[in-house]
Structure 1
Amino acid sequence: MAQMFDFAVVGGGLVGLATCLALQDRFGPINLLVLEKEGSWGAHQSGHNSGVIHSGIYYRPGSAKARLCKQGREALIAFCDRHAIPYRICGKLIVACDETELSRLKGLQQRAVENGIPTQFLSGEQAKQWEPHVHCVGALRVETTGVVDFKQVCRAYAREVEARGAEMHLNTLLMGVRTEANFTTLESSQGDFRCRFLINCAGLFSDRVAQLAGLRPPVRILPFRGEYYTLQPPSADCVKGLIYPVPDPAFPFLGVHLTRTVEDHVHAGPNAVLSLKREGYTRKDFSLKDCWECLSYRGFWRLVLPYMREGLREIRRSRSRALFAKSVQRMVPDICASDLIPNGAGVRAQAVTPEGKLVDDFLILEAPNALHVCNAPSPAATASLAIGQEIAKRVPACWRGQ
């Protein structure tokens, strides 16, 4: 008979492992199981991002994103200090490149005030004191933004979870879920496991895991690929820290930005194009099942039709280094297209409703003896420890008696 665990967490990324830490904090010694289908921790979204520690400036005041980003940022920095993980709080500039963007920039500053995030409004000349090569008519300086290697963070989470006694399984694909009155059986590629409480943190496959468990999620995960370039000298020397554009209200993503990483590399990106595979990191990656699920979903068409012009522009930019460079040169004209070297991509799991609305906040679905994290987009990496605490709080206090 399969061993019985108190909790099983499916998904070994930042959110899943942070949830494990939170469960161990809240309930003390527990019999905890972690299942991850890949051969390493944080193999997908957690390990394919820009490495930015977000301040929380963009998020709607009062939202879970705004609250958990601020809490998670503080917890993340404290964790990095305890585990000697290098990070840098370097601040960033959000730049208005023409007069039409100044009102949006000032609106962003007001949102920062409402979220309790200190900022400084700068003229174009003042911005050059921080970034000598930047071109803008105004900028917002956000001091609390930083950079870290989230792969290191994820591995440190895993080490601590295991040191506290959890049973950790890599290369273990979840294939089925059978729910009984008092426990759940997880059918996997490495045999069956039983648990009293299941927590789904499967990221790009969170909706499918929820379906395996008998739920009909009110959303579907659509994968968006974000491609990155690395800047080579002398262009790399034009960027001292982090430079972001003012978000475009006509497009639901932040836009291409420049990031000097904790390793002192300068990355440009990401863009945002639909991926034809949930884990499709190149333009050639294709999955018939993933593609059909996307194209047959009415929410997809209701989402993309209003953004058709912007979406086509993103596709062209994805296929043209020169067009990608123009987005960067708008902020830093001295950067040369020839110095942009392709540097991989990440895939963002975005939950979309049947009405075509992007779920703009974290989404955690509750079920008997289970919780399903069905939307955890940026700033989930920054907020991971706070998200984990939020998930642990939602576990019923009576779970031990079930």
Structure 2
Amino acid sequence: MRYVVIGGGIVGLATARQLVNEHPDATVTVVEKERGWGAHQTGHNSGVIHAGVYYAPGSLKAELCKAGSRSMVEFCAENDIPYQVCGKLIVATDEAELPRLHALYDRARTNGLPVRLITPDEAREYEPEVSCVAAFHVASTGIVNFGTVCERLAELLAKAGADMRPGEQVIGIEAATTSNGPVTVRTTRGEIQADVLINCAGLHADRIARMAGVNPPARIIPFRGEYYELRPERRDLVRGLIYPVPDPQFPFLGVHLTKMIDGSVHAGPNAVLALAREGYRWGIIRPGDLLDAATYGGLWRLARKHWRYGASEVLRSLSKQRFAASLARLVPAIRPEDLVKAEAGVRAQAIRPDGGLVDDFLIVHKDRQVHVLNAPSPAATSSLEIGKYIVARLPN
């Protein structure tokens, strides 16, 4: 069998690894348009190994994240990749948030996670500078550099004989003429024949699907998540991870504080509509991407429903003072002068035509094609399990 994986982020690499492990005699090719691995969503996230708190019981996110937090830690330990299982706090900063905090705690328990409700005094034993009226602690949350994980996955794949093709962009796909026929993948360097095509193209996954003759049930809309980090002399304000109670209407968790594996402390992200699918700054505008989003009715329906939320995120993007004030609800000692700009990330969020956000992983199968059409957070945590899930369901 000839397998072609499009996309060299952590989900694509993890899926390719599962293929070479289960089918050592197969040909596995990984095509990535960038010159390095994990260049986009994987390389621009907060580096959190999520426990699986937020996701609906029984959903793919809940099941694969919980299993993924274990398998990711095991992978890092086996491959000498620095990581830490440090736990995190989810805090309610006022009485109005208590019902949501308790509902989230109940969900975490339903998902079988090691969580504990704690008092404000107990919360300050973990984080002396935190402000809250109640909190719960999640013991199994960790931190890692997922870019380092990608590098190791790529090394293992190359060692196993996979055909690794960074710097090669897919420019066309000719679907099979019969259900068992090969797919022809045209790239900037030639053609590749595939018996099975697996699309893990992240920010461009819906476009790759259409290129392959599949009509995706949702469209990728890019949301930029902007980060600050604490100045080195103020890092002692945060020992680990501090998260607010999220609004369940949105897939975004709200600005939070994260100790990174290198010792820095990142603050964010917010969530603003990006003007390009790889729009890491306001100044990056790609007319084709902008037109693609602007002409999509699903985005306008989402905007009409949540325009106040969107406006507040834009204002926070434009004002360091607003950003700092959001963080100060969690840690009152944080001031605007404590923050310096850090790299932003872009989330590939799938939106349905009715304006609904796709809140679970979305994986579409058609004949000998698999298209991963929604895999934002916690996809990095879940990546090894996503790979197992995909490979287990491939045609023979």
- Please give the range of the TM-score, normalised by the shorter of the 2 chains: over 0.9
d(CA) in 1 for partners of 2:313, 2:6? 33
TM value normalised by structure 1: 0.96
- Structure 1's 251 and 6: CA in aligned 2 closer, same or farther, altered over 3 A? closer
Between 1:180-189 and 1:10-19, the stretch displaced more is 180-189
In the alignment, is residue 290 of structure 1 matched against residue 284 of structure 2?
no
Q: 1:257 to 1:357 in 2, by over 3 A?
A: same
Return 354-363 or 234-243, whichever deviates more.
234-243
1:28-70 CA distance string (max 9 Å, x none): 3211111000010000001000000000011100100000001
CA distance in 1, matches of 2:146, 2:49: 9
Q: Is the contact made by 1:251 and 1:307 (CA closer than 8 Å) also made in structure 2?
A: no
Displacement after TM superposition at 1:392 (Å)? 0.3
Distance 1:38 1:250 in 2: 34
| TM superposition outliers: structure 1 runs of 4+ over 3 Å | 249-252
Shift of 1:237: 1.1
Is 1:111 matched with 2:110? no
The gaps in structure 2 that reach 5 residues or longer are: none
- 1:46 alignment partner in structure 2: 42
Once the two structures are superposed, the pairs formed by residues 10-29 of structure 1 within 5 Å of their partners are: 10-29=6-25
Output the CA distance in 1 between the equivalents of 2:20 and 2:70: 20
> Equivalent residue for 1:243?
242
Query: What is the match of residue 262 of structure 2?
Result: 263
Counterpart residue number, 1:211: 210
Please show how residues 155-234 of structure 1 align to structure 2 within 5 Å: 155-180=151-176, 181=178, 182-234=181-233
Aligned-partner Cα distance in 2 for 1:178–1:234: 56
CA distance in 2, matches of 1:189, 1:252: 35
User: Equivalent residue of 1:110, what SS?
Assistant: helix
SS at match of 2:112: coil
Which residue in 2 is equivalent to 1:356? Answer: 355
Q: Percent identity?
A: 50
2:67 corresponds in structure 1 to 71
Rate the CA distance shift 1:194–1:250 in 2: closer, same or farther, 3 A: closer
DSSP 3-state at the match of 2:33: coil
Which one-letter code corresponds to 2:363 in the other structure? I
Query: Residues 235 and 334 of structure 1 are in contact (CA less than 8 Å); yes or no, is this contact kept in structure 2?
Result: no
> Which residue does the alignment assign to 1:321?
320
Say which is worse superposed, 189-198 or 267-276, in terms of deviation: 189-198
Aligned twin of 2:4: 8
SS in 1 for 2:247: coil
Question: What is the CA–CA distance in structure 2 between the aligned matches of 1:115 and 1:252, rounded to whole Å?
Answer: 18
Note if contact 2:232-2:264 (Cα within 8 Å) is conserved in structure 1. Answer: no
SS in 2 for 1:132: coil
One-letter code aligned to 1:297: Y
> Conserved in 1, the CA contact under 8 Å of 2:20 and 2:162?
no
CA contact (8 A) 2:251 2:359 kept: no
Alignment match, 1:122: 118
Residue type of the alignment partner of 1:37: K
Q: Secondary structure at the match of 2:343?
A: strand
Structure 1: 5+ residue stretches without partners: 398-402
What residue in structure 2 maps to residue 99 of structure 1? 95
1:235/1:336 contact within 8 Å kept: no
- For 1:400, the equivalent position in structure 2 comes to none
Equivalent pairs counted in the alignment come to 393
Aligned with residue 28 of structure 2, among 29, 32, 39: 32
Residue 71 of structure 1 and its aligned partner are, at CA, apart by 1.0
1:80 aligns with 2:76: yes
TM-score by length of 2: 0.98
CA–CA distance in structure 1, aligned partners of residues 65 and 311 of structure 2: 32
Question: Superposition pairs for residues 132-171 of structure 1, below 5 Å?
Answer: 132-171=128-167
The answer to whether the 8 Å contact 1:9/1:33 transfers is: yes
Alpha-carbon distance between aligned partners in 2 of 1:250 and 1:332, rounded to the nearest angstrom = 25
1:365-384 deviations in Å (ceiling 9; x for gaps): 11122111111111000000
Partners of 2:292 and 2:142 lie apart in 1 by 37
Q: Relative to structure 1, is the Cα distance of residues 387 and 251 closer, same or farther in structure 2, using a 3 angstrom cutoff?
A: closer
Aligned-partner Cα distance in 1 for 2:319–2:340:
12
Equivalent residues of 1:32, 1:166 under 8 A apart:
yes
The CA deviation at 1:250 is: 4.8
RMSD over aligned CA atoms reads 1.0
Letter in 2 for 1:79: F
Matched-pair contact (CA < 8 Å) for 1:250–1:307: no
